Amino acid sequence: MFSFTEGIGDMTLAYQCFRLTLANNNDHPEAYNNLGVLELRKGHVDMARAFFQAAYVIAPHMYEPHYNWAALSDQLGDLQSSYNAAKRSVDAFPNHVDSKELLKQLKHHFSLL
């Protein structure tokens, strides 16, 4: 999910906007998810994971934080966490192509073990 400020490349402004959103409403899952994306872009993996987790705890029906958690876990080699999160993402949004593709890759990987 990208905001206008991210689209024009102003990550600092985007970060400030999402922080202000949370100051106004600390149960805003989209803001947590987007902060996770920004932290990941900065290379702050632990912060990104914390923001993704906050987002999916608040809104388990959203597929984005589940997918972002799955993709990050896959990159870090935590395949079981990646699989579980990808499955939750597909459950939340069955037509999300990236989630389905990641889940397919993980199932294939597990079948080779």
Cβ distance 48 to 64 under 8 Å? Answer: no
CATH for 1-59, options being 3.40.50, 1.25.40, 1.10.10, 1.10.3470:
1.25.40
Cβ distance 29 to 58 under 8 Å? Answer: yes
pTM of the model: 0.88
Where are the chain's structural domains? 1-59, 61-113
| Predicted pLDDT of residue 7 | 57
CA–CA dist 97, 106 (Å, integer): 14
pLDDT, tens digit only, all 113 positions of the chain: 344 445 557 888 899 999 999 999 999 999 999 999 999 999 999 999 999 999 999 999 999 999 999 999 999 999 999 999 999 999 999 999 999 999 999 999 999 98
CB atoms within 10 A of CB 10: 14
CA–CA dist 79, 8 (Å, integer): 34
Helix residue spans in the chain (DSSP H): 4-7, 11-24, 29-41, 45-58, 63-76, 79-92, 97-111
